[in-house]
Structures are given as C-alpha cells and as structure tokens.
A and B are shown apart, each in its own frame.
Chain A
Amino acid sequence: MPLNNYEYFLLMPQIIIGVGIVLSVLIEIYTKKSEQILPWFSIAIFFATAFYSVFNINQNFVLFGGMIEVGGKPAIFNFIFNIGAALVVLSSIDYLKKYGTYFGEYYILIQSSVLGMMVMSGAKDILMIFMGLELMSICFYVLAGINRKKFSANEASLKYFLLGAFTTGFIVYGIALIYGATGTTSIQNLVENFVGYSSNIIFILGMILFLIGFSFKIATVPFHMWVPDVYQGSATTVTSLMSTTGKAAAFSVLIIILSAVFSFNAPNVFSPYFATISALSMLFGSIVAISQNNLKRMLAYSSIAHAGYMAIGLAAGNIFSVAGIIFYLAAYAFMNIGAFTVISIVEGENDSRTDLNSFAGLNAKSPILAATMALFMFALAGIPPLAGFFGKYYVFIAAIQSKLTWLAILGVLSSVISVYFYIRVVVFMYFKDATEDFKINISPYSLIAVVITALLILVFGILPDTLMNVITSVLH
C-alpha cells in the first residue's frame, strides 16, 4: 500500500488535467489572446498527460481506499483519450473560425470531458464510474450545441441531452439495484463475489439496466437512435471526439464492470445480451449506412456498426477479447478522427459540403486529402494491413475461442456490406469528376492531424505488435 503523498504523485495524470482546466479558465478570463493560447495550451496538457500515463504504465495501484486505479489498463485508455483529444484540438483551430464560432469554453469543455473519461477508465467503484460519466456527458451535451445560433446544432444538443438524461436514469436505477443486492458499490467486491451474485435476480436486473445504459453510450442497436442526428448536427470536430474517445470511455467501463468475467474466468452470463446487441448493431449499422449521402451521417451509422464489432469482444468475454477491444478502440479512434478531420477540412460554411457529392473529384483538388481519406476508408472497411483490420481480427479470434463462430461470421458478412459504402467514398474521390466548383482551404494544423493519424494507422497495421505488446503486458 503506497503512502498517502505518493498516491497524489501517482494520480498525476488526472491532476495535470485538473490543474490545466483551472488554468485554462484563468487564461480565458484574463488574457485577450486566449484564442491563440488555449488550443496550444490544451495540446500541451494532453501530451503531458498521455506521456506521463504511458511512462508510468507499470505503476499499477489502486488508490484512495479502492476508489481509482492508476497505471496499467487505465494508462492505456488515458493515452487513447489524450492523444485523441490532442488531435481533435489540433484540427479545431482553423475549423472553429470556419464554423463561425469561437468560444474559449470549447477547449475547456474538451479538457473536462477528457478528465471525465479518465475517471471512468480508472474507476474502481461504481460511483466513480457515474461521476466520470456525468462529467464527460455534460461536457459533450454542451459541445454538441457549441454553436448556439445554428438550428441543427441545437437539435443535436437537445436530443443528446434528453436521451442522455434518460440513459442516466437507467444507470442510476441499475446502480441502486446492484447496491441493494450486494450492499456495496466496490468493483473489487463485485469481482470477488461475481459468481455468487449471479444467482441473485435483483443483481442481474441491476446489471442489465446498467449495461443498457452504457449500450446507449457506446451506440449499439437498439439504443442508437440519438447517434445519427447528434453526429450530423454537431460540429465535425466535436463529433470526432464524441465518436472516438467517448465510445472508448464507455467501453472501458464495460470492461471494468465485467472484469470478473474477463480476468477471472467467471461465467459470462451477459454473453447472450452482448451477442444480440452486437449482431443487431453490425447489421443495422452497415445496412443503413449504404443509403446515406451525408458523410457525417454515414460515419455515424458506421460508428454503430463498429460498436457492434467491439461488442463481439464483450460477448466473447475472455482475456484475449479485452486486448482486442482496446486495440480496436485505439485503431478506431485514429481512423475516425482522421476521417472526420478530412471532412472538417472539406466542409464549407453552414454545414455545407459534407455530402458525398462534394467529395467528387477530390483527388484532382487535393491528392493528399484524397489519399489519406481513402486510407481511412480502407482501414474502416478492415482491409489489411491497416490498423482497422487487426482490430477486427483480434475480436474475431476472441469470438472463435469462445465458440461464438456464428458471431464472427455475422461480423464478416456485415464487413462485406460495409465495404460498399466505404469504397463509395473512394469512388467519388477518384473515379468521378468534380460536380461542385469550390476551392479547399487546407488548414495546415488539420493536415498535420490527418497525417499523424494516417501514419499511426499504417504503423499499427504493419506492426500491430507495437501496440498489442503494451496492451497484453498490462493485462497479465
């Protein structure tokens, strides 16, 4: 058991972000140039946190009387959240001007949401999970409607808020029932007595409600209704944050709450539940995405499908599947941030130019944007050797190890369906001539973000071990 002062030292990542938020508020209040300072300050904070987490990945402790875990698995999640957020901030710098809005709050809210995610991924108590979740979600509700003058953004924000509040109801009710059945909110206790609790109907009911709540957050069918409108209506950079790091945070909670199953081989009583939502999400997401002409909406449905693939890992419920899910989340985060950043570059004022037609002939206008977008699309479609393929590969292995071959087969079938709409983007960019005449102002910052994500996808695709070794080392 570490000393008390040492506990604060270990909690440094959360503290850095926390102090960063306070400083950002001060910068916003007291300087006139906050527009120039804040983004770079946020990026510095995120990088500091990410690298501090990674370098102390082996310092795996549970702090504050079993409340929060540091190092190990949470460290990897912290890395994903922070690098993801840093890339999103980088791509926001010029986007916000074009989007017609600049508020210092934007960056502060992103920092706060990341803090929420970090609390979630490290939680060792159900109440910590809830706290982190609310911190993240409330920031997202505001971020979704950051442009208050725009109708679609308001709609997105309100829709997200109402459904989010509804979800919170499920989760709180679930927590109450779990507490009622077990008399504690400690995850540790849950893990140790999972098998015993599993025969308690109240506990199972509470867990199901809790899982349903998080099924909303990871955007799986039938709890996906908010996704398309919110993803389309929000600012593109906000969407890229919500759809990647937000999803990763929700998955980290599901892994924590089921850690008895994953790490201690308890029987996976919830496997049928996850198998069902996974199968529905994969098929629904892939099929409906085919008919979308708006790229943001298409990626929203693709995000539902990807949540389905990752849920295969939850259904499989072995130690390998956790590694698979984390790898998938990292890969997905970079693919999606990359794709949304390209969209944010092409996007014009007032939400214009997010349709497929605007991407026609992109190769002639900007070969680098077209090439990277094609890379993201192929990666999302799961073509080897790109990172997205290995994400799928790992969860499929987990599924087959757990004798869920049928789920893996459904997975590949929906992958085939999804290939259609991903390569349709490539068709427009390369095979068709431009129909709309406009010039793209490529923001250098956004372009850097795109190139970084593209490189990461290539590296994780060609040398998946670079990431996988880190993940497996903390799981054992």
Chain B
Amino acid sequence: MDQNLLLTYLLLTPIIGSVLVLFFKQEQKQLIRWFGLAISLIAFVISLIIYFGFDQTNSQFQFIHQVTWIKSLNISYHVGVDGISLLLVLLTTFLTPLTLLSTWKAIEKNVKMFTFSMLFLEVGMLGVFISLDIFLFYIFWEAMLIPMYFIIGIWGGERKIYAAVKFFIFTMFGSLLMLVAIIWLAVYASSLLGHFTTNLIELYKVGPTIPHEIQSWMFGAFFLSFAIKVPLFPLHTWLPDAHVEAPTAGSVILAGVLLKMGTYGLIRFCLPLFPQSAVNFAPVISVLAVIGIIYGALVSMVQTDMKKLVAYSSVSHLGFVVLGIFAMTVESVQGAVIQMVNHGLSTGALFLLVGVLYERTHHREISFYGGIAKLVPLYSTVLMIAMLSSIGLPGLNGFIGEFLILIGSFKSAVLNSWWFTIFAASGVIFAAVYMLWMYQRVVFGEVKNEELKHELTDMNLREMIVIVPIFIFIIWIGVYPSTFLKLTEASTQSILQQVGSYTINLFK
C-alpha cells in the first residue's frame, strides 16, 4: 500500500460512507446507526495507521499526495499532515464515532439524514486539517457549513432556525472576505512566480514579501474569518446560540472540532503567511484574547442554563488558545495546540454529560436540579472528572495546556509584558468558580424536584462507552503529555522559525 495515499483513503472513507447511507431505507434506523459508527471507526483506524507511520522528528509535511484538480487555475488536490494537523485529525476521527454513538437514543427523527450529515461533516473537518492548497482548504471550510447548518436546523431546540441562520451567515461573512484575500494572494503570487498558484508551500515564500500595508489587510481578512470561527471576543455572539440550540451531537462536534478549525487556521495560515503583520498585531489580538478569557468566565458565572454555561466557558478557553498562538513561543504555541485538544475532550465531555441529563428530564436549567448525587452517583462522579479537567486541575489535561500557555506568554518576546499572563491567569480562577458553583447547585444539597426521582436514571453502558475513552485521554494528557507534545514540537518550531526569520528572533 502506498503510504502517501493514506490521507486520501482517510478522506474517502466518510465520503463513500455518506453516499452509501443514502441507499438505506428510512426505517432501518438501527442499521444506519451501526453503519455510521462502523464507517467512522474505519476512519479512526486509518488515522491511527497514519499516526504510527508519522516521523515525529521531521518538521516537514508528510503523507503528501498531490493531484492536479483544476488545471486552468493551477489548483491541485494537495494533502499532507504535520504534527499539528495530525493531532487535530486524530481528535476529529476520535470524536466522530463517539458522537455518533452518543446520539443513538437522542436522535429518532430522520436518522438517515443525520448520519449522512455527520459523515459529510467529518469529510469537511478532515479536509480542512489536511489541505495544503489554500483553495482546497477554502472549499472544505465552506462545504462543512452545510451539514452543520442542517444538524442545528433540523434536530435543534426551540430557536433552532435563528441559531442555524446566524451560524451560517456569521461564518460565511468571514470566509468570503478570506476568499478575496486568497484570490489576491494567488494573483500576487503570479506576478512574483510567473504562475497563478494556491499551493500553500509555495505561498509561504510569497506571503512575507507582500508590501507592509497590503499585508496588514490580507492578514486582517484571514484573521477575521478565523476569529469568527474561534470565536474571539467580540465576534463570539453566534456561539452560545448555536451551542444551546444544537442537539448534543452538534454541540460536541462544534466545540470539539469546529472551533479548532479557527485556531488551526491562525497557526497554519495567519502566522507563517503574514509573519510581519502577525507580530505587529499580536499585542492587540492578545488583549482581545485576554478580554475573552475573563469575559467568557464572568458570563459563564451568571448563566442559568447549563449548556449556555459550557458554551461561554468555550469562549474563555479558546481565549487561552489564541493568547498562546500570538505569544509565539515554542511553549505557548505547543500549549495552544494541546489546549485545543483538551478543550475538545473536556468540553465535548461536558456537552455529552449535559446531554445525558437533558435526554432524561428535558431540562437544562441549573435551578431545576439539585441533590442528584444521591440519585445518580456514577453520573455525578463522571461529571466531576469532566469538570475538573475543564477547570485545569493538575494531573488532568486542562492544566498542561493552560500552564504551557501561561509560561510561554510570560516570556514572550512578541508580547513583552507580564500583564497578559497575569490577567489570563485570573481566568483559571474564575473557571474554578463557575464550574464548581454549577456543580454544587446541580449535584449537592437536597433533591429539589420530585420529578427527578422518577425520571433520572444513572449512566447506562452505551453512555459509559462514549465517555470512558475521552477520560482515558484526559488523564493521559494530564499525566504524560510528552506523547502529544513530541508530536507537535518539530512542526511548531518550524512555523516559529518561519515567522522569526522575517521578524524578530522568537527563540530566546
């Protein structure tokens, strides 16, 4: 088997799967569920094969596969992974089967279309992470909107239409400006290289030579698109709506993978393509990131809806990631990548667990609950672990990411100030406040609602199968992060090298 075709197989698996799903009958619900699960598990296995074949000491892109696609525009189907994208590919293929499994009871309406959408979404997400052609990246980036739009719109809550449309238009707004920037970049490259190109590896040499003022605009267009997706304060307003209205599976994928596409874009495109502008704007962006950390935490504190609380905590956590990226030290960027994975795992777990409660009682208000520790002890324990991981308790994954980001930003040559770290660190404390307070109100005390006694049952086997693998990684990253840090180290250094070679020395 040709190694370099592995990524294409990975991409083809859910594509073929989603097409085959269409041939099932609407009534064969259970069969469709098993089929979707099987397809996503095959994709996971392929991504593991890629992981074991990956050379961690090599900072270059690996498993490269390039085929000319649109000759008239010199666009090719060009895929490959480095350490950073591989980690996110693994996150995607890991979360997708779990998410599918988690919906077996919750989704009864139109299972066929749901499975189709989920597999199609997986194609989009994987494509975003492995594309080495900006144009190809853009196609996946946009195409992935459609299944998510349907997932929120069809299986969502009361205000699903509002949330779905808002999600779609916000993202579209950013990405279309990015499209103009992509075209501009390709046209500029044709004046420099003599041919129109959207090949990322070639553009890495072109981007930094763009005249300063125009580069700022280009950076702005890319950044806006990614910042909306992240979402960075003050562009985050679509997120709580989308999260609250989306079905559990949608929230998990949204938080687990989709938001990472934004931060991944910052690392893959904004930094190396426009290094001068990235360094110039780093302090401003970091201020926004820190505001996001604190704002997200404070707003979480006053939420009455559990799902909304978790949604706003995402704004806070993603603020850390952005801060880590724009501090531009090896520690902070690696921390940011790990934090992306962490957030995917712990927030994904939290959304799953909120979903477990909601499936039983159809209530998400914190005030509805209270004292469930006596009724569902297993659930309460599981929720505790997920929550502590989200807070960043040492020994669990959240701590590693936040710690690395804080250290990195402390000694950052680009930011050159302690204040970012000091304010960001307060976010960790706030996180403990809103999470523990929520936990206390939901789990401890007297059983407030008689209804709960009838409706609430503890976690079943299927739900445990979903949650346990996530916990394994939560603990693994917390105890022995080197497995994951080693994977991203070479790639991170190479990106910072690229930025540093055009600006200031980033390695102190």
Which positions in A face B, CB cutoff 8 Å?
A: 378, 383-385, 389, 393, 396-397, 400-401, 405, 408-409, 412-413, 415-416, 419-420, 423-424, 426-427, 430-432, 464-465, 468-469, 472
Q: Give 30 CB contacts A-B under 8 Å.
A: A383-B146, A385-B143, A397-B73, A397-B183, A397-B186, A400-B187, A401-B187, A405-B184, A408-B183, A409-B177, A409-B180, A412-B180, A416-B169, A416-B172, A416-B173, A416-B176, A419-B168, A419-B172, A423-B149, A423-B165, A423-B168, A424-B165, A426-B149, A427-B153, A431-B160, A431-B161, A431-B164, A465-B69, A465-B71, A472-B72
Cross-chain contact B179 with A396 (CB below 8 angstroms) = yes
Asked if B238 is an interface residue, CB under 8 A from chain A, the answer is no
Cross-chain contact B180 with A468 (CB below 8 angstroms) = no
Which positions in B face A, CB cutoff 8 Å?
A: 69-73, 138-139, 142-143, 145-146, 149-150, 153-154, 160-161, 164-165, 168-169, 172-173, 176-177, 179-180, 183-184, 186-187
Cross-chain contact B183 with A384 (CB below 8 angstroms) = no
Contacts A405-B184, A465-B70, A472-B72 given; indicate if A431 touches B154 (C-beta within 8 A): yes
Cross-chain contact B180 with A396 (CB below 8 angstroms) = yes
Secondary structure at the B interface, as helix, strand, loop or mixed, is: helix
Top 9 A-B residue pairs of the complex, sorted by shortest distance between their CB atoms: A412-B176, A384-B139, A431-B153, A416-B173, A468-B72, A400-B187, A384-B142, A408-B180, A400-B183
> What's the minimum C-beta distance from A205 to chain B, rounded to whole angstroms?
34
Cross-chain contact A419 with B70 (CB below 8 angstroms) = no
Contacts A383-B145, A384-B139, A385-B139 given; indicate if A400 touches B169 (C-beta within 8 A): no
> What's the minimum C-beta distance from A282 to chain B, rounded to whole angstroms?
13
Considering the chains assembled together, what is the distance between the CA atoms of A468 and B139 in angstroms?
A: 18
B170 to chain A: closest residue by CB: A416
Considering the chains assembled together, what is the distance between the CA atoms of A385 and B186 in angstroms?
A: 19
Counted as pairs of residues, one from A and one from B, with CB atoms less than 8 Å apart, the total is 78
Residues of A within 8 A of B179 (CB): 393, 396, 412
A375 to chain B: closest residue by CB: B146
Considering the chains assembled together, what is the distance between the CA atoms of A430 and B146 in angstroms?
A: 13
> What's the minimum C-beta distance from A332 to chain B, rounded to whole angstroms?
18
Residues of A within 8 A of B149 (CB): 423, 426
| Residue in A405, A419, A430, A469 whose beta carbon sits within 8 Å of that of B72 in the complex | A469
> What's the minimum C-beta distance from A335 to chain B, rounded to whole angstroms?
16
Considering the chains assembled together, what is the distance between the CA atoms of A385 and B123 in angstroms?
A: 13
Cross-chain contact B72 with A465 (CB below 8 angstroms) = yes
Cross-chain contact A427 with B183 (CB below 8 angstroms) = no
> What's the minimum C-beta distance from A378 to chain B, rounded to whole angstroms?
6
Considering the chains assembled together, what is the distance between the CA atoms of A420 and B173 in angstroms?
A: 11
| Residue in B69, B160, B169, B176 whose beta carbon sits within 8 Å of that of A420 in the complex | B169
B152 to chain A: closest residue by CB: A431
> What's the minimum C-beta distance from A279 to chain B, rounded to whole angstroms?
15
Cross-chain contact B150 with A469 (CB below 8 angstroms) = no
Cross-chain contact A427 with B165 (CB below 8 angstroms) = yes
Considering the chains assembled together, what is the distance between the CA atoms of A468 and B169 in angstroms?
A: 30
Cross-chain contact B176 with A415 (CB below 8 angstroms) = yes
Residues of B within 8 A of A405 (CB): 180, 184
